[in-house]
Amino acid sequence: MAAGKTYETNDKELLRRTMNVARMEQDAADVVNYLRNRFHRQKIFIVGHSWGSMLGLWLAHEHPEWIYAFVGTGQAVSMQENEVAGYRIVLQTARDRHNELAIKELESVAPYPRPVQISTKRTW
């Protein structure tokens, strides 16, 4: 796993080469197919939270024949907008609490998040 407490213990070069959206989509498809085979079912239910909700939408779009239903919780629509909103909330909380150190640190990374180039690869 390359998140949480294990992130720092992983090989950074390996993560750079393997932690990408295409790999995560393939991993999600592999898990779904494992479950379909394991439980002898043509279709299964998918529940995705946050980033998993985006992978779940991808699965539903690309492989509707595998899925009875998709349930998105904490449905992510725009990760960029999610980060913008989170940053604003945290900065406002620091200001409301008069936490000058937090304000200074948060403002030092502004604008956050940095603008990203939107890929036009996807058609959905």
**DSSP code, position 70:** E
Q: How many CA atoms lie within 13 A of 48 on its CB side?
A: 24
**Residue written as token pair 């197919």:** 33
Count, residues in the chain:
124
Are residues 87 and 108 in contact, defined by beta-carbon separation less than 8 angstroms?
A: no
Are residues 102 and 94 in contact, defined by beta-carbon separation less than 8 angstroms?
A: yes
pLDDT tens digits for range 65-110: 999 999 999 887 787 888 899 999 999 999 999 999 999 999 999 9
pLDDT tens digits for range 16-55: 888 888 999 999 999 999 999 999 999 999 999 988 999 9
d(CA 93, CA 39): 47
Are residues 58 and 25 in contact, defined by beta-carbon separation less than 8 angstroms?
A: yes
pLDDT tens digits for range 45-68: 999 998 899 999 999 999 999 999
d(CA 47, CA 51): 11
Q: What is the mean pLDDT of the chain?
A: 88
**Residue written as token pair 């349930």:** 71
